[in-house]
Structure 1
Amino acid sequence: MSQKATFKPYTAPAGGWGSAKSLGKILSREGVLASGALTLARQNKVDGFQCVSCAWVKPAKPLPFEFCENGAKATAWEITSHRCTPDFFAAHTVTELLDWDDYQLEQAGRLTHPMRYDAMSDKYVPVSWGAAMAEIGREMRAIEDRKSAVFYSSGRCSNEASYLYALFARLYGNNNLPDSSNMCHETTSVALPISIGIPVGTVSLDDFAETDCILFFGQNPGSNAPRMLHPLQVAAERGVPIITYNPLRERGLERFTNPQSVVEMVAGKETRISSSYHQIMAGGDLAGITGICKALIEIDDAARVAGETPFLDDRFIAEQTHGMDEFISWLRTQDWEELVRRCGLSRAALESTARIYARAKATIAVYGMGLTQHRAGVETVQMLVNLMLLRGNIGRPGSGICPVRGHSNVQGQRTVGITEKPELVPMDTLAEQFGFEPPRDTGLNTVEACEEILAGKVKAFIMLGGNFVRAIPDRSLMEPAWRRIRLTVNVATKLNRSQIIPGEVSFILPVIGRIETDSQATGEQSTSMEDSTGCIHGSKGVRRPASPHLISEVRFVAEMAKHTLDPNPKTPWDEWTADYSLIRKQIGVTYPEIFFDYDKRMWEPGGFKRPMPARERVWKTKTGKANFITPKGLDEDLDMPETGNDVLRLITLRSNDQFNTTVYGYSDRFRGINGTRDVVLMNKDDIERLGLKVGATIRLETSSKDGVYRALGGLAVVAYDIPAGCIGAYYPEANVLLPIWHYAESSKVPAAKSIPVTIHKESDEVTEPGLIAAE
């Protein structure tokens, strides 16, 4: 904790002067006030670098400042003047660093030298790149069972590095390629292909200019994708209804002042974003969307009886879809009282949404992890698709399904082969292209990798970016098991908790960041990424690397491959390292329908769009049509005990001052929480019912019967506008409460948005008197 903890309701809009002040504060704190402003001018520009934060669209006609508050924070965090040198590691043992929190670890600055863990001194010590790669190669070759090595990657990795990394894993002998998608939108990647035949959304940025209705579920653009607020603002200003379903009232979905508009800033003009806001129960979206569908059917029934124009798109349904009759029959059997009880909203609220939706000509459905991180997350996403199909809202301008991805290239790396599922990769093409027999067995996803680690079966774990140990569930079980892994390799730009939980042989290997110039034998190199809408863009670094001892991610993969694999004339690692265009050429051979003329097209304003058959109403499904999927039931969290006096549903949250596991500070401005992350947000009625006091200290315990004690203590109670029976606490701290087995069926995404917990008093004394009730 860096300052006195306080809670004071924040009354200003998203954006505005609060955003501007936050930006100035972090640029100053990181020592890049002047140079950072120049760097930000190149962010998300056609000839600049793609944001290292979220995956929102890089537009063809960018704004003068095409970055948001959190994107600017991510840039400042990476270009910081602070350095984490060998002197830092000489001054601190790993045991000492275990007491540091996430913010303190990363605030040490950019890593400057490759380091190896020395168990005798309990410190990381410098190692040459040559010695590090040689030892990694020896360890990897010594593993008899090639399936016991895991190759994790962060969603920030470029297409070029990701493609080589996936190729290396398969040349090594397995498909163990979990990535950050396994923790968030793998639910999307499982649900959408069954429903509409593609694993990604169908919406483009242009669709926001043509839509006349937007439905929003479980996504917080104010903190997680703030640049999205610009098209939402434009839509709201032209009268488009934006109907939001989210347990907490998030400021970015309420009001917005564009910090790039002088007029709005001076005048204090605010734009209303959501036209109606429904605070649905955590885990209630499946029932809620079902209720909207049911209400739409009833509206349509009434119109037909009255001889009026039907509200369902009969022609589209008849010609383009499959499974309608079964779905409608199931809908008609659903009981309104049960739907209302499960979603926590009134029937009138659901019916009002259905009436607005029924009259809209084109609707976009936006969603985030509020839908995907539940046990029935796959069925919930498919229910949202069902709603879109009822009125033909996929495959025409201004409409479609829009999952908002997190990491800046989490979608792109899947496109170029980072997947544990061999059926998603053209293995026969790879076999001919590189002269080997690729493994055909399904690899490990994130949850399965954790299970194998707990069982002691993983011998090597390579992390190409990310903070795996901190991001995963069941931290109290995973950290001790992690130490028993023979080889752990952390490829990173900054220090994080994964690195201070070393395996028997452990390395920290620092790399060039995306914002930095990448000079190889043939000159400065460019990389590429894919945004949330399936557009692929080029990216050029603009700053000098933080240290002369850094190498690129591409070079790291190539060096690891050279030291691990037998020579293969069809895999010229040195040539690929020298000229990344040769990697893109190979990507084009593997995926010709997507990446033809790759080098030229990636510099087109707005990028080039990967084929989206569903946008053209071409359905790559087993039925050859878009499918209505009838769920097995309405229970969104199948192992969740019924809430009552004891068990509550915990929603893990990100603050306005973080991106995933990266914590920029202790100010969650929009929620009015400052100086701490050790809080639990509670409905005031639950506080009173449980005999608690605002500001008192409590402990959360997971309600489960697996014999494992999971607890998180030292949390101050904050009264907040959250549905009764639901509470909120910060991610990743609350991951200790999330069992590894509590995941979405089919996708195995951790079900972090509805964890069954009980509350236990630690002290009735109000330890933080500044924590007052929310207005």
Structure 2
Amino acid sequence: MSKTDDLPETSGPSGGWGSLKGITRIFGETWPSADAVRTLKRQNKPGGYMCASCAFPKPANYHPFEFCENGAKSTLWDMTRARCTPEFWEDHTVAGLRDWSDHELEKTGRLTAPMRYDPARDRYVEVSWDDAFAEIGATLKDLPREQVVFYSSGHAGLEASYLWALMARAYGNNNLPQSSNMCHETTSVGLKKVIGSSVGTVLWEDLEETDCYFFFGQNPGTNAPRFLHPLKEAKDRGAKIVTFNPVREQGLISFVDPQNMHDMLTGSETKISDQYHQLKAGSDIAALTGLCKAVIEADEKAEAQGRAPIIDWAFLREHCNDYEGFLRFCRSTEWQALCDECGLSETELRQAAEVYIKAERVIGVYGMGLTQHAHGATNIGMLVNFLALRGNIGRKGAGCCPVRGHSNVQGQRTVGIAEKTALIPMDRLRDLFGFEPPQKDGMHIVDAAQAMLEGKVSATLSMGGNLLRALPDTDRIEAAWPQQKLTVMVSTKLNRSHLYPGEVAYILPCLSRSEVDEQETGNQYVSVEDSFSMIHGSLGKHPPAAKTLKSELEITCRIAQAACAPNDKLCWLDWIKDYSVVRDLIEATYPDDFRDFNARMNEPGGFWRGNAAHERVWKTESGKLEFTTPDRLNALGFEDAPGRFRMITMRSNDQFNTTIYGYSDRFRGIEGTRDVLLMNKIDIADLGLKHGDEITVRGDMGDGVDRIKTGLSLCQFDMPRGTVGGYYPECNVLIPVGLHDQLSKTPGSKGVPVRIEKA
């Protein structure tokens, strides 16, 4: 398919030659140095370089090549030979670059020098590092403390992240929104409420022992391709995989292992999902209720026939609270209501439940298809209910497995990047550093966006990321962003957030994780945490893109030195010299999680910081696993209505978050464009439209704001009736800031009300 002229055709299984072709294309586009191959060989291995892409765990027994297609793309993209030097701005204005695509902006290459925005010329101009830090510090000192935001993406290591959070608190606030606020904060809050842990409960050895996976709203083929190897191994030993997802994702359909020469030469595919259920967007509560109802009915039948119970009653009685109320809810909810909501038949739900009943050890895997809804926390609670019915939490080969989509997004929360004061050991910070940390909760990313729209944010400092592009309500945020007194972006490449500068604006170029970070005591290790709560050391060995680049840790410390009140215990400049000293501070602040940090960080497979729920210790209010009884059958923040569709935003296999590597979404058969809306053929016909029509999509939240996305082509696709799909971040313009999870405030990007009309 090219620009939606023809109906899309997928290019076969995930992995295989398609992955190698995708990597080769990026190699040819970036022309990295020969050292790129050596970097890839070290990627995700003990003592090596930890991928800056997803947060999937790094096994102790690693493959010869322990990276996936997207991990390789991320590394090669960073190691490009292209350079965006100060001379670039002689031919380009900021306003002129707003017409460039995200892909074109990043293809200008690695940033090489600190830049300050010159409003008179509408260009960025080179400045010295000393002048940049001095002016940033001076400007921050004059601003109201509560109006300054310290944002962080998942790129920075634990050391820089710890100091970034410390800087914010020494400056005077807890305004520490982070990229998890936009994706897995529902996990952090929702799981914490029901099992007492803010992260998943499984470890690598659980993947090796499970005999069944249930997937909900997670796409490993695009978002965590290294997961496909343990899935293949599970299938080889006879495990079952059942998937619930509105879109048929190729990574959960079939896979050819690129590291198996026989499979590559013969095209031998591994069928991944034994059952694949395409439910309506946002209807996972109904589907999970149906699964649990089938289990309950099977248990009642077994009891009547004198057979062994299906439900693990011993687990429920010893470890669970309020399960009786949930059982009553399931029994009283009619099958027809469940099927009407999720779009699946009773037979399909019972067939899926039968797989669950027959399995001994089940892992529940989920992604943002569960978290990014107005009632995402209820989704999480329902998955925990489902697993708990048969005791599939806190034992070998079973558990709850959220898959984080950014390298160190989980770890940054672990070391203090959090807006809630209750999550931070403020007493230890007080004792260690001799200042009184602020006790008022800070801004979540949704709070910061709303405050931005109201003119109540004076400055945003961004450690990595492309925040303006990642936020909901893009058009409104773009209009409000330049009203700030100060914007500071710590970046490796040019992106759209740089094109809406505040009154004073800086771009500060930093090292990538694969590059040598030479300080006074030598090349410095950094560390990251993966989705399984394992901590890994990472050492860059590639020469920096420019001698003028500084590390994220040094940039943090130099800003803090300039902006924060003098304090003999805040040794910002000394900490730059030796990152192991910072790891000692992390250990002193979080002794239970980081015991013997420096000694253990390069252990094969990482060292585990622990998880009480894995041991069936529930740090909840009741001291038990809390069952969730829902008050609704979908997770949406709106009601269905004639002409209203549920839109989900999606990534292609040719992107990582807001980074667009190209225009090839081969798994969906879409080539050469991202300006499409995927839609069921019957829905298309009902609207009097046809495949390839140019359409306008309008937000339908009913809050008085006119949200509109033009220039999209309608693409006939295998979608459930009433559900449509568009690409992230292009469709963020349609997502209201106020549409978010009720508990965590995570934006509802997987359940957006829209209407469609011909252009």
Q: Which range, TM-score by smaller chain?
A: over 0.9
2:640 corresponding residue in structure 1: 642
> 1: CA distance between counterparts of 2:29 and 2:730?
24
Q: Which residue in 1 is equivalent to 2:428?
A: 429
Indicate the residue corresponding to 1:12 in structure 2: 12
Residue 767 (structure 1) aligns with:
none
After superposition, where does 1:646-685 map in structure 2 within 5 Å?
646-685=643-682
**Mapped partners of 1:85, 1:721: distance in 2:** 45
- TM-aligned CA deviation for residue 604 of structure 1: 0.4
Q: What is aligned with 2:157?
A: 158
Partner of 2:89: 89
Distance 2:90 2:463 in 1: 25
Check conservation: 1:140, 1:564, Cα contact below 8 A.
yes
Distance in structure 1 (CA, Å) of the matches to 2:259 and 2:375: 40
Which among 744, 747, 750 is matched to residue 747 of structure 1? 744
- Segments of 5+ residues of structure 1 without an aligned counterpart are 763-775
8 Å CA contact 2:361–2:398 kept in 1: the answer is yes
1:519, CA displacement in angstroms? 0.3
Structure 1 residues 624-643: aligned runs within 5 Å: 624-638=623-637, 640-643=638-641
Give 1:769's aligned residue: none
Question: Which residue pairs with 1:520 in the alignment?
Answer: 519
Residue identity matched to 1:735: N
- Counterpart CA distance in 1 for 2:29 and 2:622 is 56
Match for 2:710 among 701, 708, 713?
A: 713
The residue number in structure 1 matching 2:271 is 272
Q: Residues 4 and 198 (structure 1 numbering): CA distance in 2 closer, same or farther, change over 3 Å?
A: closer
Q: Name the stretch that deviates more: 351-360 or 230-239.
A: 351-360
Aligned-residue Cα RMSD (Å) equals 1.2
State the one-letter code of the partner of 2:64: P
Give the counterpart of 2:729 among 707, 732, 735: 732
Query: Does structure 1 conserve the Cα–Cα contact (< 8 Å) formed by 2:33 and 2:81?
Result: no
Q: Kindly provide the CA deviation profile for residues 638-662 of structure 1, in whole angstroms up to 9, marking residues without a partner as x.
A: 3x23143x11111101001001100
User: For 1:63 and 1:665, how far apart are their aligned partners in 2?
Assistant: 28
Instruction: Give 2:604's aligned residue.
Output: 605
CA distance in 2, matches of 1:438, 1:566: 13
**After the TM superposition, which of the residue ranges 708-717 and 400-409 deviates more from structure 2?**
708-717
Structure 2 residue 47 is matched with structure 1 residue 56 = no
State the Cα distance separating 1:321 from its structure 2 match. 1.1
Aligned with 1:286: secondary structure? helix
Question: Which secondary structure state, in structure 2, belongs to the residue aligned with residue 331 of structure 1?
Answer: helix
CA distance in 2, matches of 1:687, 1:622: 49
Contact 1:5 1:673 in 2 (8 A): no
How many equivalent residue pairs? Answer: 759
Q: How does 1:346-385 map to 2 (within 5 A)?
A: 346-385=345-384
CA contact (8 A) 2:434 2:569 kept: yes
Correspondences of 1:238-257 after superposition (within 5 Å) = 238-257=237-256
Q: Give CA deviations for 1:518-560 in whole Å, capped at 9, x if unaligned.
A: 0001111000000000000000002011001100000001100
Which residue identity is paired with 1:260?
Q
Aligned residue type for 1:415: T
1:441 maps to 440
Secondary structure of the residue that 2:427 maps to in structure 1? helix
Whether 1:702 aligns to 2:699 is yes
Quote the Cα distance in structure 2 between the aligned partners of 1:698 and 1:358. 46
Q: Following TM superposition, by how much is the alpha carbon of 1:156 offset from its aligned partner in structure 2, in angstroms?
A: 1.3
C-alpha separation between the residues in 1 aligned to 2:731 and 2:391? 40
Measure the CA separation in 2 of the matches of 1:90 and 1:117.
13
Q: In 2, Cα distance between the equivalents of 1:81 and 1:563?
A: 33
Q: How does 1:317-396 map to 2 (within 5 A)?
A: 317-396=316-395
Partner residue in 2 for 1:22: 22
Aligned equivalent of 1:31: 31
Map 1:238-637 onto structure 2 (within 5 A): 238-637=237-636
- CA separation in 2, counterparts of 1:110 and 1:3? 30
Give the superposition deviation at 1:5: 6.9
The amino acid of 1:300's aligned partner reads D
Give the whole-Å Cα distance in 2 for the aligned partners of 1:275 and 1:330: 29
Deviation of residue 251 (structure 1)?
Answer: 0.4
Matched residue, 2:198:
199
Other-structure match for 1:689: 686
For structure 1, which segment, 359-368 or 326-335, has the greater mean C-alpha deviation from structure 2 after superposition? 326-335
1:761 counterpart residue number: 758
> What secondary structure does 1:402 align onto?
strand
The AA in structure 1 aligned to 2:673 is: T
Q: What is the TM-score with the length of structure 1 in the denominator?
A: 0.97
- Residue segments in structure 2 that go unaligned for 5+ positions in a row: none
Does the 8 Å contact 2:2/2:671 carry over to 1?
no
Q: By how many angstroms is 1:632 displaced?
A: 2.2
The aligned residue for residue 233 of structure 1 is 232
- Give 1:607's aligned amino acid: G
Contact 1:643 1:725 in 2 (8 A): no
| Contact 1:694-1:718 within 8 A present in 2 as well | yes
- Residue 3 of structure 1 deviates from its aligned partner by 8.4
Superposed displacement of residue 635, structure 1: 3.1
Offset at residue 507 of structure 1 (A): 0.5
CA contact (8 A) 2:33 2:79 kept: no
CA distance in 1, matches of 2:65, 2:338: 45
What letter corresponds to residue 19 of structure 2 in structure 1? Answer: S
Say yes or no: does 1:147 pair with 2:146: yes
Query: Are the counterparts in 1 of residues 55 and 404 from structure 2 also a CA contact under 8 Å?
Result: yes
Distance 1:667 1:451, change over 3 A: same
Q: Tell whether the 8 Å contact from 2:4 to 2:713 is kept in structure 1 after alignment.
A: no
Q: Return closer, same or farther for 1:3/1:11 CA change in 2, 3 Å cut-off.
A: closer
Q: Is the 8 A contact 1:530 1:536 kept in 2?
A: yes
Amino acid of the structure 1 residue aligned with 2:314: R
Q: Does 1:78 align with 2:75?
A: no
Residue 2 of structure 1, CA deviation: 11
Give the superposition deviation at 1:34. Answer: 3.7
**Deviation, structure 1 residue 633:** 2.0
Asked whether the 8 Å contact 2:282–2:750 carries over to 1, the reply is yes
Question: 1:656, 1:667 within 8 Å by CA — same for their partners in 2?
Answer: yes
CA distance in 2, matches of 1:83, 1:16: 32
* CA distance in structure 1 between the partners assigned to 2:4 and 2:736 by the alignment: 32
SS in 1 for 2:54: coil
Q: Is the 8 A contact 2:4 2:670 kept in 1?
A: no
The residue type equivalent to 2:80 in the other structure is T
Displacement after TM superposition at 1:327 (Å)? 1.2
Secondary structure, counterpart of 2:135 in structure 1: helix
2:592 match: secondary structure = helix
Contact 1:284-1:636 within 8 A present in 2 as well: yes
The CA distance in 2 between the partners of 1:528 and 1:197, in whole Å, is 25
Give 1:33 shift.
Answer: 6.8
Structure 2: how far apart are the matches of 1:33 and 1:281? 46
Counterpart of 2:732, as a letter, is N
Q: CA deviation at 1:627?
A: 1.1
Any idea what the Cα deviations from partners look like across 1:300-322, whole Å, max 9, x if unmatched? 11100111100111111111111
Partners in 2 of 1:635 and 1:366 — Cα distance?
Answer: 19
In the TM superposition, residue 701 of structure 1 has moved relative to its aligned partner by 0.3
Report the alpha carbon displacement of residue 157 of structure 1 after superposing the two structures with TM.
1.1
| Paired residues of 1:6 and 1:674 also in contact (CA < 8 A) | no
Partner of 1:766: none
Contact 1:5 1:676 in 2 (8 A): no
- What percentage of aligned pairs have identical amino acids? 52
- Whichever residue aligns with residue 609 of structure 1, its letter is W
- Post-superposition offset of 1:39: 1.7
Distance in 2 of aligned mates of 1:187 and 1:90: 45
Query: In structure 1, how many angstroms separate the alpha carbons of the residues matched to 2:715 and 2:311?
Result: 45
TM-score w.r.t. the length of structure 2 is 0.99
Q: Which amino acid aligns with 1:280?
A: L
Question: Who is 1:723 aligned against?
Answer: 720
Instruction: Give the letter for the 2:227 counterpart.
Output: M
